[in-house]
């Protein structure tokens, strides 16, 4: 008896659902094709968030629907959570948590909207907007957009209380990242657009096996601290064929990263590709096996740089930057072991050691200085190579600074322009 009743209930529900989706079909002609497809081969692996109550009008809170769709799909091998195209889904901060069955896909074809103003964020969840936690064998794909609606956060930085960058304790100092992966492995992100983040756009934290391809990231050049992609304590990474334009680092590689391969990116505008800053507050930082190849950087603060704080520990080893084309970039090649975010920082003897860094085929124009390599007094940089570095001033008529090298050992070879970029000292001189 009980069984029959729930069966009837199910049928009624199914009927209601089909009426509901037909209604949508009439209302939104644009998506009729999509919905028809779903009706024809409706199967148990597709979880459209509308089925779970999402409205998609850009005003209703659709967070719960996404979480419910996720929970259902998570239990099914090879399932897809679908964010349908043509609609705007407003979400408050959400955590989509694994472990899930393998080959789960989050298909983002529509637009996801973050809370529209600083005031509409809840204070307890300012770390990120969408948090993927403990997932593996997982993909995010689709032609949709994640819109962080960050403009009200950017203008905050102009207010007096937030000018002190040393303190991050005030709730307003903590700004959300749009999309963060935490403790995840074998994850793929492709095709989606991520725009207007309050802070970083895409972050991988404590993860392993990351593939990013064909994505687009976009925020204004003057939006503060809006990194494109941030890697932290993450190994075995490939980032390729993507367009990243933002107000801070295009890709930022932080401590604990190894085996990172970045190629075919456009980083305009941005602060370029950056290792660090590393070793802040005398911390231990290790980064190794980084390859950055075939990158264009236009209208940027730097092209490729490594920055470390004095007093840090650990090392940067085996990094290669090749085929980097810069245009209108302040300083294309930077190593700064005196990184400091105030007027001056105390000199310290400990430093993050930098060795085996190759620059090969760095070409284009600079607006301030072609190269600046400032290594630690107590722990000089070793085994640096500059091969075929050809840089010329962007403004022919203005005066420019010379290339600068300090405590940096290695070799320059091939065609070098201006000749000053060969300012490295020979490795063999290091111990004499
Ligand atoms: C499920 O339906 C989708 C389209 O709605 C289709 O792409 C997919 O291949 C189907 N899966 C199975 C196992 O039939
Ligand atoms: C998504 O974009 C890709 C590449 O731009 C295109 O091939 C594909 O047809 C698009 N899919 C939809 C559903 O619009
Ligand atoms: C760097 O690459 C080498 C050679 O492939 C490998 O032996 C080493 O383990 C890698 N380093 C790290 C930290 O994974
Ligand atoms: C340096 O890193 C690259 C990957 O970026 C790796 O292929 C190579 O084996 C590493 N070399 C050493 C000596 O670890
Ligand atoms: C730190 O060292 C640099 C280079 O040796 C020197 O120019 C600078 O004055 C020192 N700064 C302080 C605060 O001692």
Q: Which residue among 259, 314, 316, 355 is best mutated to probe the pocket of ligand 3, counting the most ligand atoms within 8 A of its Cβ?
A: 259
Distance 307 CA to ligand 3 centre (A): 22
d(CA 139, CA 136): 9
Distance 63 CA to ligand 2 centre (A): 25
User: Which of 222, 341, 331, 323 shows the shortest CA–CA distance to 270?
Assistant: 222
User: Of all atoms in ligand 2, which is nearest to the CA of residue 109?
Assistant: 13
State whether the beta carbon of 33 lies less than 6 angstroms from ligand 2.
no
Q: Nearest bound ligand to CA 141?
A: 2
First to last CA, the chain: 93
- Closest residue (by CA) to atom 6 of ligand 4? 289
User: Please, which pLDDT band fits residue 180 given cuts at 50, 70 and 90?
Assistant: very high
User: Does 168 score more than 50 pLDDT?
Assistant: no
User: Which of 382, 361, 203, 199 shows the shortest CA–CA distance to 294?
Assistant: 361
247 alpha-carbon distance from chain centroid: 12
Comparison of pLDDT for 41 and 243, the residue scoring more: 243
Each residue of 293-319: pLDDT tens digit? 999 999 999 999 999 999 999 999 999
Average pLDDT of span 117-146: 93
Distance 6 CA to ligand 1 centre (A): 27
User: Does 356 score more than 90 pLDDT?
Assistant: yes
- Closest residue (by CA) to atom 3 of ligand 2? 143
Q: Which residue among 257, 318, 357 is best mutated to probe the pocket of ligand 4, counting the most ligand atoms within 8 A of its Cβ?
A: 318
Each residue of 337-346: pLDDT tens digit? 999 988 888 8
Q: Nearest bound ligand to CA 374?
A: 5
User: Which of 278, 286, 296 shows the shortest CA–CA distance to 260?
Assistant: 286
H or E, element range at 296: strand 284-309
Each residue of 250-278: pLDDT tens digit? 999 999 999 999 999 999 999 999 999 99
**Burial class of residue 288 in the structure, from the number of CB atoms within 10 Å of its CB (0-12 exposed, 13-18 middle, 19+ buried):** middle
Can you tell me whether residue 59 is helix, strand or coil?
A: strand
d(CA 34, CA 32): 5
State whether the beta carbon of 38 lies less than 6 angstroms from ligand 1.
yes
Each residue of 417-432: pLDDT tens digit? 998 889 999 877 776 5
d(CA 142, CA 206): 25
DSSP 385-427: EEEEEEEEESSTTS--PPPEEESEEEEEEEEEESGGGG-PBPG
User: Please, which pLDDT band fits residue 39 given cuts at 50, 70 and 90?
Assistant: very low
Average pLDDT of span 127-138: 97
User: Does 30 score more than 90 pLDDT?
Assistant: no
pLDDT for 197: 97
Q: Nearest bound ligand to CA 318?
A: 4
Note whether 144 and 85 are within 8 A (CB).
yes
pLDDT for 22: 44
Distance 389 CA to ligand 5 centre (A): 30
pLDDT for 6: 58
Structural domains in the chain, sorted by start? 97-150+174-340+348-431 (2.160.20.10)
What percent of the chain has a predicted confidence (pLDDT) above 70?
A: 86
User: Of all atoms in ligand 4, which is nearest to the CA of residue 318?
Assistant: 1
Distance 41 CA to ligand 1 centre (A): 6
**271 annotated active-site:** yes
- The residue annotated as part of the active site, out of 263, 264, 271, 400, is 271
Comparison of pLDDT for 144 and 7, the residue scoring more: 144
Q: Which residue among 237, 257, 258 is best mutated to probe the pocket of ligand 3, counting the most ligand atoms within 8 A of its Cβ?
A: 258
User: Please, which pLDDT band fits residue 383 given cuts at 50, 70 and 90?
Assistant: very high
- Closest residue (by CA) to atom 13 of ligand 4? 318
- Closest residue (by CA) to atom 6 of ligand 5? 347
Tokens of 273: 């590709």
Q: Nearest bound ligand to CA 349?
A: 5
User: Of all atoms in ligand 1, which is nearest to the CA of residue 37?
Assistant: 5
């Amino acid at each position: 008896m009980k069984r029959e009743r729930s069966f009837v209930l199910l049928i009624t529900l199914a009927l209601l659902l089909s009426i509901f989706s037909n209604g949508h079909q009439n209302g939104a002609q644009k998506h009729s094709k999509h919905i028809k497809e779903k009706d024809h081969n409706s199967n148990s692996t597709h979880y459209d968030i509308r089925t779970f109550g999402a409205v998609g009008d850009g005003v209703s809170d659709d967070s719960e629907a996404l979480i419910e769709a996720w929970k259902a799909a998570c239990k099914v091998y090879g399932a897809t959570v679908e964010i349908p195209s043509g609609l705007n889904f407003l979400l408050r901060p959400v955590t989509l948590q694994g472990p899930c069955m393998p080959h789960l896909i989050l298909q983002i074809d529509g637009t996801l909207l973050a809370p529209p103003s600083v005031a509409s964020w809840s204070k307890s969840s300012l770390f990120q907007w969408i948090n993927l936690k403990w997932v593996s064998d997982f993909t995010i794909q689709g032609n949709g957009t994640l819109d962080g609606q960050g403009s009200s956060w950017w203008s905050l930085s102009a207010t007096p209380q937030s000018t002190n960058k040393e303190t991050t304790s005030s709730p307003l100092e903590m700004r959300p990242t749009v999309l963060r992966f935490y403790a995840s492995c074998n994850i793929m992100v492709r095709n989606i657009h991520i725009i207007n983040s309050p802070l970083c756009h895409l972050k991988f934290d404590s993860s392993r096996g990351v593939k990013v391809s064909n994505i687009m990231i976009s925020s204004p050049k003057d939006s503060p601290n809006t990194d494109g992609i941030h890697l932290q304590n993450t190994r075995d990474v490939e980032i390729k064929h993507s367009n990243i334009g933002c107000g801070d680092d295009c890709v930022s590689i932080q401590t604990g990263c190894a085996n990172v391969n970045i190629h075919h990116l456009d980083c305009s505008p941005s602060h370029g590709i950056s290792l660090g800053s590393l070793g802040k507050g005398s911390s231990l930082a290790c980064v190794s096996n980084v390859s950055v190849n075939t990158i264009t950087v236009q209208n940027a603060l730097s092209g490729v740089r490594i920055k470390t704080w004095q007093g840090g520990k650990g090392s940067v080893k085996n990094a290669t930057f090749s085929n980097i084309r810069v245009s209108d970039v302040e300083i294309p090649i930077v190593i700064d072991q005196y990184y400091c975010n105030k007027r001056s920082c105390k000199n310290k003897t400990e430093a993050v050691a930098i060795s085996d860094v190759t620059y090969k085929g760095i070409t284009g124009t600079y607006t301030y200085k072609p190269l600046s390599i400032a290594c630690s007094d107590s722990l000089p940089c070793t085994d640096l190579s500059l091969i075929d570095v050809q840089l010329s001033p962007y403004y022919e008529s203005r005066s420019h600074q010379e290339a600068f090298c300090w405590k940096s050992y290695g070799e320059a070879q091939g065609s070098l322009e201006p000749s000053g970029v060969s300012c490295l000292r020979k490795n063999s001189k290091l111990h004499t």
